[in-house]
A and B are shown apart, each in its own frame.
Chain A
Amino acid sequence: MAIAVYLAIYSGLLVFLIGCFLRIREYSRVPFHLRWELYPVPHEAPQYAAHGGSYFESAESWRKPQEHHHVREWAAMLEEIVFLRSVWESNRRLWVSSFCLHSGLYLSIAAAALAAIAGVVPAHAALIPVSAGLATAAAWIGITGAVVIVDGAILLLISRVREPGLRNYTKGADIFNLLFFVATFGLLIAGTLVSGHAAATAEIVRGALRLDLSLPIHPLLGAGVVCASALAAYIPFTHMSHFIAKYFTWHEVRWDDRRMERGGALERRMAENLQYRPTWAAKHVGADGQRSWVEIAAGDPPQEVRK
C-alpha cells in the first residue's frame, strides 16, 4: 500500500511541476504586447494611487522618473489572493463559496508544508517534540482546510447547477472538477477519521520523504492521498491553473504601465516585434508576408472596395 501511495505523491508532484512550468513557459514566450493597463494601478505614486490615477495626471510627467511602489502592489496582491477582493466587490453572492474553496486550499498547502518540515526534522530525541508539534499542527490545519474545501466546492456546485447565469456557461469538466475536490478532500477527511492507529496524513508525508515502506496506511486515507496527487497533476492542464495566469494578467497586462524610454530595455524588446511579417489578407493592411510590421505601419493603406 505504502509504495503505491508514495508513487502517486511523487508522480503527482512531478506532473504538477512540469505542468506549471509548461504554462509559465507558454505565457512567457509570447511576444511583448502593447500597453493595455487598467486603473487603478496600485504601484503608482501615492498621490495618484489614492484615487486610482496615474502619472499622466502630472503635466510633463515624462521629465520625471516613473515611480513604482512595490509595497502598495504587494499589499494589493495579498488582499486579492487571501481575501478575493474582486469577488467580494463585484460578486458577493459567489464570495463565500469561492473564499471557502481558496482558503481551504491555502490551509491544505500550509498543512502539507508543515508535514514536510516535520518529516525532515532529524529523529533526535530533543527534536521529537518539535516534530510532533508540527505534525499535530499539520493535522489540525489540514483537516480544517479539507472541511472548508468540501464546503466551498459543494456550495459552488449548487451555484453552478442552480443559477442560470452560471449554469449556461458550466461545462462537464467544471462539474467534474468540483466533484473531484469533494471526493478527494472527503476521502482525506474520512480516512483521517477512520485511520485509528494507522498513519495520519503527516506521517504519510514523512514516510514519502524517507521512503518508509513499512508504514501502515489505511486504505481510505491512502485513496485520499492518491486522489490529491492526481488532482495536483490535473490542475495545471485546466483553467484552474489561473494562479499562474493571474500573475501575467495582473502584472503584465492590468498593472503594466511601464513607459517607453529612448534606448531602454523595453525598446530593445519591442524592436524584435516590429520586424514580424504579418499575413493578414484584407487589402488595406497591405501585408504580404514580406513586409515587416513597421513597414506596413509606415506606409499608406492600399485603397480597397469594402463589403
Chain B
Amino acid sequence: MRPGVSLNDFSRTDREPLIHLSNADLMPLPEPLTDKKDDPVSPALSEECRNRYECGLDDTCAVNIPQPKSPQEEERLVAQFLTGLEKLFSAANNWTFLQPLLLTMEHCTGCQTCADACHIFEASGRNELYRPTFRSEVLRRLYFKFVKHGGLFSAWQHGDIRLNWPLVARLIELSYRCNLCRRCAQACPIGCDNGLVAHELRKLFSQEMGIAARELHDQGSMLQLKAGSSTGMNAEVVKDNVAFIDEDISERTGIEVHTPWDVHGADVLLIHNAGEIMAWPENPGAFALILTLAGVSWTMSSELAGYDSINYGLWYDDAQFARVALKHVEAARKLGVKRVVLGECGHAHKALCVVADRMLTGEFNVPRESSLPLLRDIVLGGKIRFDPTRNDFPVTLHDPCNLVRLMGVVEPQREIVRALCPQFREMEPHGVDNYCCGGGSGFAIMSGNNFSDWRFHVAGRRKLDQVLTAFSDCLDPATPKYLCAPCSNCKGQFRDMLAYYDLWEKNRILYGGLVELIVNAATDVKPGFIEWEWH
C-alpha cells in the first residue's frame, strides 16, 4: 500500500483528501497520446466545493455531501448509517440481494485476484484507494463489528475499523468510484462481488440516509417518475420531437418514415433511452426506418416512462428501480403488445430483462428482450438489401457491460458488423471479458465539480487505450474511423472522452450506434446516412 493510504486512514478526521493523483501516476496511453502534455491536467476542486462538501477522499467530488454543522449532526448521521447497515443485512429490507452480499462479506480470502481485473485500479496506476477490495474491506469490517457484534476475537479474525463521520462520508464518495461493471466478480475464484458491494452501499445511503448522486436521483429516477423521462420530456414533447426526427430521416434517406404511437396489439413495443431522442436523433430515426423497411408491427408508447427505458434505480436504489420497471411493464400491458424490445441502452436491458425478471410476476411478466437479435435477424434475413462497401471504413465495437457480461448478448451485434463492415476489428479483450467505457453506473451523466475529469482520466482510461490500440494502424486523420457503441450511456462517455482528448479533430475518430451502420449500408437508402461531423 502506498504510504499514507491505509484502511485506518479512512477514519482520519481531517478533511484533506486521502490521495492526490497526478497524470504521471496514471497508466500510460498509447499513440497518439503518449506525450504527457496531450493528457489535460485535471482542475482542482473549487474552494467553495471544498468548504461546503465532504471532499476527503480524492481530488474529486461526485455526491456533494454537505459538511455537518456540528459534532451532534455528525453523530446523528453516523447513527443513521448504522441503522441502515443493520437493514442492509436484514431479509425484510434487503431480500433483493442479501444472499450474494452475505457470501461476499463472509468469504473473501483477500487473495486480490480481482485487482488486475479492475480497469479503475489499473488506470489509476494501481492506487490502493481504488483497489476493488478496499471499499469491500471497509464494509466487511463494519459488518463483523456492528452487525455481527464481533469483539476482540472477531477483530483478530476479520480486522478492526474505527467508525466515525469522516469514514461514512468517504465511503459514500468511494461507492461512486466503481462502474459496477463486475469484471472483478468475474475473476473472483470464490464468487465474491465487489461491484455488488458498491451497489449495496449506494442503496444504504439512498434508502436510509437520502443521499445519492443528484444526477441519478433528483434529475434521474424522480424526474422520470414525475414527468415520464429523465430528460424532462413529457409525452407531448417527445411525440413532437419524434415527428421531427421522422421528417428529417425521411428527407435524408428518401424513405417515408412514420413512428407509430400507442398501437394496441402491436407485435413490438420499442422503448428507447429518451436521451437518444434529444442527443442522437439519428438513432431512433434509424430504428424507425429499419423496422419500417422490415415490415415489423411495432409501436412506441406515450405512457408515463413508457417512452424512456432508462432505470437509474438499477445503480443506487431498489425502490426506484422497481417503480420504473413496473411503469415500463404497465405501458406494455396497456397496449397489449406481444413483447417489449429495448433500443440501444445497456443498463435498460439489464434492468428490465434480467434484474427485474423475478419481481414481475403473473400478468406483469410481459416478454422483454433486446433489439439486437431482432436487428441481426433483419440484417441477415434478406428483407433489406445491403451494400457493405458503404461502410468501408475502420469500425470497432464496444461491448456495453450490461449487455454482454451481465446479460450474455455477445454475438448478434458482431454478426451485424461482420456482415456490414468490411474493416471491422475487435478490441482486445472483448465480449464477456470487455472493459467498461468508464461511464457505467451513471458516471456518463455525472459531471458535477471536476468529476468528469476523473471519469476520463481514470474510469475511461483503459477503454480509451483499447480504442486507440484498435485503430493504431489508421490513426491518420485522413481515414475516418467509427467506434460503434450500442448503448446510450457508453455513447455519452465516448462523446465526452473523445472530445476531451480532441480525438475527432486530430484523428477523426467518430462514435455512434449500431443502427446507424445498418442504415448507412442499406441500398434503398440515399448514400451517406452517417454524417462525418462531430456531434
Contacts and interface: CB of A to CB of B under 8 A. Distances in A.
Contacts of A53: 408-411
Nearest to A90: B187
Contacts, number: 293
23 contacts: A30-B98, A51-B410, A56-B370, A56-B373, A57-B408, A58-B373, A60-B367, A61-B369, A90-B114, A91-B111, A91-B112, A91-B116, A164-B1, A166-B111, A239-B107, A242-B190, A248-B103, A249-B103, A249-B192, A250-B191, A257-B408, A280-B93, A300-B323
B362 interface: yes
Contacts of B196: 36
Interface stretch (B279-287, B349-357, B384-392, B451-459): B349-357
Interface string A37-63: 111110010001001111111111110
Interface stretch (A115-123, A220-228, A265-273): A265-273
Contacts of A70: none
A54 B116 contact: no
Interface stretch (A11-19, A167-175, A183-191, A200-208): A167-175
A150 to B, nearest CB: 19
A10 interface: no
A31 interface: yes
Nearest to B304: A300
Contacts of A36: 97, 100, 193, 196, 355
A304 to B, nearest CB: 6
Given A34-B355, A59-B374, A298-B326, A246 B319 contact: no
B158 A173 contact: yes
Residue of B65, B91, B210, B320 contacting most chain A CB atoms (<10 Å): B210
A87 B109 CA distance: 12
A173 B156 contact: yes
A172 B369 contact: no
Interface string B71-91: 000000000100110010001
A286 B319 contact: yes
A33 B95 CA distance: 6
Nearest to A286: B319
Residue of B99, B189, B196, B409 contacting most chain A CB atoms (<10 Å): B189
B133 interface: yes
B357 A40 contact: no
Nearest to B353: A56
B111 A245 contact: no
Contacts of B370: 56
Nearest to A63: B367
A279 B376 CA distance: 46
B69 interface: no
Contacts of A24: none
Interface in A258-307: 259-263, 266-267, 270-271, 273-274, 276-287, 293, 296-301, 303-304, 306-307
B348 interface: no
A169 B137 contact: yes
Interface in B25-80: 65-66, 80
Interface stretch (B252-260, B399-407, B486-494): B399-407
Given A39-B408, A51-B431, A173-B158, A301 B323 contact: yes
Nearest to A36: B100
B211 to A, nearest CB: 6
Interface stretch (B214-222, B234-242, B524-532): B214-222
A59 B373 contact: yes
Interface footprint category on A: 35 or more
A285 B317 CA distance: 9
Contacts of B357: 34-35, 259-260
Contacts of A274: 359, 361
Given A254-B191, A274-B359, A56 B99 contact: no
A169 B187 CA distance: 18
B358 A300 contact: no
B208 interface: yes
A138 B225 CA distance: 67
B382 interface: no
Contacts of A271: 361
B113 A31 contact: no
Given A57-B409, A87-B111, A248-B191, 20 more contacts: A30-B99, A33-B95, A33-B96, A56-B408, A59-B373, A59-B374, A84-B189, A86-B189, A168-B7, A240-B109, A246-B190, A253-B99, A254-B185, A270-B359, A281-B208, A281-B209, A298-B323, A299-B323, A301-B222, A307-B209
A27 B217 CA distance: 32
Given A56-B370, A245-B106, A282 B355 contact: no
Contacts of B87: 278-280
Contacts of B193: 36, 249, 253
Nearest to B91: A31
A94 B113 contact: yes
Contacts of B396: none
Nearest to B66: A307
Contacts of B159: 171
Given A31-B95, A31-B99, A276-B91, A57 B211 contact: no
6 closest Cβ contacts across the A-B interface?
Answer: A54-B408, A249-B191, A297-B322, A31-B95, A52-B432, A169-B110
Contacts of A74: none
Given A41-B408, A276-B95, A266 B190 contact: no
A98 interface: yes
B266 interface: no
A235 B367 CA distance: 45
Given A33-B100, A39-B408, A40-B432, A284 B156 contact: no
Given A36-B355, A270-B359, A301-B323, A86 B113 contact: yes
Contacts of A307: 65-66, 209-211
B99 A33 contact: yes
